[in-house]
Structures are given as C-alpha cells and as structure tokens.
Amino acid sequence: QVQLVESGGGLVQAGGSLRLSCAASGLTPRRYTLSWFRQSPGNEREFVAAVRRNGGHTYYADSVKGRFTVSRDNTKNTLYLEMIGLQHEDTSVYYCAASGTEILSSISNAGSYAYWGQGTQVTVSS
C-alpha cells in the first residue's frame, strides 16, 4: 500500500520559514517524479514544485521561485520543501504527490499524479 505522509506544517509569521517533509512508503521513490501542490479553500489545487527521479532537475511555480527549494533523499524515501520568506498568500494545505511521468508539460498537472498525501496545513500570519 502506497503512503505519502507530510509533516512540518504550522503557523508562522510573514517573512518566516518552514520545512515540509514527505515520507514515502509502499513505492520506490527513485522511480517517480515527486512534487508539492497546495490548495486553499475555494481554489483549485495548484502546482508548487517538483523534482525529477534522480533529483537533478527541479521545477517551480513562478509564485515561489527564489523562496522555496524542493529536494529529495531517495535513501530516506523522503521529499522536502524548504520555504523562506513566507507570505500570507502561501497559506494553504500542502500536499506531496508522486507521478510516474517525467514529461515536462505534465509535471505541473495534478491529474498526472497517482499518489497523494493527506496534506499539511501552512498558515502565514500577516
């Protein structure tokens, strides 16, 4: 059974930082593109960041470039999202997801992902 379990969310002041983790089990992470998405009430789930199987290529939404860093440790079956300079607009539930695709145009599409975590809440106070 595939499980993705996020942790590290919480309440932080604007300008602060958080580090999210996603522990994967039941699959071989190095065979998957691993990504972060987020969703706030009333909005669609949006792409945040992705890292390809070998960890050598990363991709970011324009809204988080320069502030967020995605990384993975395949030896620990864990995905990370380092977030600095958090803004009120970053408030959301953050989800990690795994996809077998490496097609660049599909990486930012939530429909390309077969496996999802339960999400972790990030709240940024202004």
- What is the full per-residue pLDDT of the chain (126 aa) written as tens digits? 999 999 999 999 999 999 999 999 998 888 999 999 999 999 999 999 999 987 779 999 999 999 999 999 988 999 999 999 999 999 999 999 999 888 888 999 999 999 999 999 999 998
- Which tokens belong to 49? 């960041």
For residue 105, what is the enclosing H or E element?
helix 104-107
Q: Alpha carbon 22 to chain centroid distance?
A: 8
The confidence score (pLDDT) of residue 113 equals 96
The residue assigned the tokens 């522990």 is 23
The confidence score (pLDDT) of residue 30 equals 84
3-state helix, strand, coil in the chain (%, to 5): 10, 50, 40
DSSP code at position 107: H
The confidence score (pLDDT) of residue 104 equals 81
The confidence score (pLDDT) of residue 103 equals 84
The confidence score (pLDDT) of residue 102 equals 83
